[in-house]
Amino acid sequence: MEFDDSINLVNRLTKFQCTEYPDSLWTLLLWVPVSKVKVKVISPVIPDMEAGVRRILLVLCVVVLLLTGFTAEVNVPPIHRAIAGSDTLIPCTFSSVKLPVDPTFLVVSWYFEGKKILSYDANLSTLDFRFILDTVKAINGDASLSVKRVTIPDSGVYRCSIRYKTEQTEKNITFYVHAPPEIEITKKIVVMNEESILSSSITGFYPMSIDIKWFREKTVLENVQSPRPWSNPDGTFSVNSSVTITPTEEDKNQTFSCSVQHDSGPLRKDFQLEYGAIPSIEIVSSEFFLNKEQSLICRVYGFNPSSIIVEWFLDGTSIKTTKTRRIDISAVDSVYHFTPTEENWGLELSCRVQHQTLSAPLVRKLLVDGKVLAIRRRIGMFVSLGLILPLCGIIVFYIKGKKKAGNNEEQDEVDGIKDPQRASALS
């Protein structure tokens, strides 16, 4: 006899449905060798039947249910995705004979990379307050894991485990966290018919793989520089990209764009060129005098747009005591009050200008030097020589005189030997 026929026969004979049986009976029937049964039944109430008959029908009911081989099925998607910073729900549902199930016999566990992060067995326990399980939904077959404020490190393999009474079923889910990039055009000011650089900053994306292209309308631009992305403290990545162009009059009404392809989706930033003028620079100074303060002026003019940075350096060290005054929208003076000393003589002063039209800072240099200090040094040298040379002459004269006297004495001794009478007269 088929199982369906058996059930129909029991129903016809007893006029009741086999639905549930008591927990005490479940414990009595644990000896039944059925490995994939996750049901709980309680005794049907048939008041007009004798106790023995009710017992027989109850056993028949349980046997029929066991033989039908009911299995609780856990359903999860193989892959789940979320955006960093968002709240997400990692799905996990299960089926049972009847919902809601008895929470006394239900155990829900969630694992991340093999480590238990949440469990529910009448009481909820979680490793991180961001992991939440709705217990009301859980006893109704929905054990999905809620994750608040998803972060990059949350990416990985999760496992949903459902145990009901003595049977357990579990499945894995691969969770991907994406962080979409943000594009900022950091340089779009160019100089007509001059080689100019467009640049962008692409930040906060994950995973690291990203493809960057630059466009003039629909034309892909060449000469793109995009180094390897660097990592940020939050686990995301950032990169700078640039492209070199020589803009013409035709480019004034063209739309340029920086476009990226990323796992989180494509992104594009459109913009138009802004035309500027390169600054001119000169240092205005007078002759240096030792220990006398003078004003050095770094004059910068003819630039556009008006934003500009002017700095002074002495022998490569930045000078903070300068003052910048604006002459007009396209001209500024940076003033440095400088005092030449013996210590800074011969060092190099420089004025450095940074502007949006420049690919590298513009620098003008000035050597700390002057005639007065040089003359004083020469005078000092002459004075020293004037003192040293006479002294040297005296020493030489003295040495020569002494040497001559010595020679005369030696000659007299020789003459005495040759002429004894002269020697006696001399003595």
State yes or no: pLDDT of 418 exceeds 60. no
Give 98's pLDDT tier (boundaries 50, 70, 90). confident
Please check whether the two domains, 74-178 and 182-275, share a CATH topology: yes
Distance CA 104, CA 96 (A): 15
Both ends of the chain: CA-CA distance in Å? Answer: 171
What are the pLDDT digits (tens) for 44-53?
444 555 556 5
Q: Among residues 302, 312, 261, which one has the least CA distance to residue 279?
A: 302
Query: Per-residue pLDDT averaged across 96-108, rounded?
Result: 88
| Architecture per CATH, 74-178 | Sandwich (2.60)
Picking from 33-37, 59-63, 145-149, 382-386, which range would have the lowest pLDDT averaged per residue? 33-37
Identify the pLDDT of residue 60.
55
* pLDDT above 90: percentage of residues in the chain: 63
State yes or no: pLDDT of 261 exceeds 50. yes
Domain-wise residue ranges, the chain: 3-67, 74-178, 182-275, 280-369, 372-427
| Architecture per CATH, 280-369 | Sandwich (2.60)
Token pair of 233, please? 């403290």
Residue whose entry in the numeric block shows the structure tokens 């999760």: 158
Token pair of 379, please? 């005078």
Q: How high does pLDDT run on average in the chain?
A: 80
Strands 274-275 and 189-190: parallel
Identify the pLDDT of residue 5.
43
Give 95's pLDDT tier (boundaries 50, 70, 90). confident
Distance CA 158, CA 176 (A): 11
Identify the pLDDT of residue 2.
40
Q: Among residues 282, 205, 207, 193, which one has the least CA distance to residue 239?
A: 205
Identify the pLDDT of residue 387.
54
> Which residues have C-beta within 8 Å of that of residue 97, sequence separation ≥ 6?
20, 38, 39, 40, 41, 65, 70
Give 26's pLDDT tier (boundaries 50, 70, 90). very low
Token pair of 294, please? 């003078």
The larger pLDDT score, comparing residue 361 to residue 419, is at 361
State yes or no: pLDDT of 390 exceeds 70. no
Identify the pLDDT of residue 19.
41
Q: Which residues pair with 107 in a beta bridge?
A: 163
The larger pLDDT score, comparing residue 406 to residue 195, is at 195
Identify the pLDDT of residue 396.
56
Query: Per-residue pLDDT averaged across 3-23, rounded?
Result: 41
State yes or no: pLDDT of 11 exceeds 60. no
Identify the pLDDT of residue 122.
87
State yes or no: pLDDT of 334 exceeds 50. yes
Give 4's pLDDT tier (boundaries 50, 70, 90). very low
Query: Per-residue pLDDT averaged across 33-62, rounded?
Result: 49
The CB density around residue 383, as the number of other CB atoms within 10 Å, is 10
State yes or no: pLDDT of 346 exceeds 80. yes
49-76 as b/e: b if 16+ CB within 10 A: eeeeebeebbebbbbbbbebebebebeb
What's the chain look like in SS3? CCHHHHHHHHHHHHCCCCCCCCHHHHHHCCCCCCCCCCCCCCCCCCCCCCHHHHHHHHHHHHHHHHHCCCCCCEECCCEEEEECCCCEEECCEECCCCCCCCHHHEEEEEEECCEEEEEECCCEEECCCCEEECHHHHCCCECCEEECCCCHHHCEEEEEEEEECCEEEEEEEEEEEEECCEEEEEECEECCCCCEEEEEEEEEEECCCCEEEEEECCEECCCEECCCCEECCCCCEEEEEEEEECCCHHHHHCCEEEEEECCCCCEEEEECCEECECCEEEEECCCCCCCCCEEEEEEEECCECCCCEEEEEECCEEECCCEEEEEECCEEEEEEEECCCCCCCCCEEEEEEECCCCCCCEEEEEECCCHHHHHHHHHHHHHHHHHHHHHHHHHHHHHHHHHHHHHHHHHHHHHHHHCHHHHHHHC
What are the pLDDT digits (tens) for 124-152?
999 999 999 999 999 999 999 999 999 99
Picking from 22-31, 57-66, 90-99, 110-119, which range would have the lowest pLDDT averaged per residue? 22-31
**Which of 65-69, 87-91, 285-289, 374-378 holds the top average pLDDT?**
87-91
The yes/no answer on whether domain 182-275 falls in CATH 3.60.20.10 is: no
Residue 108 in contact with residue 136, Cβ under 8 Å?
no
Identify the pLDDT of residue 186.
96
Angle at alpha carbon of residue 396, lines to 391 and 397, rounded to 5°: 95
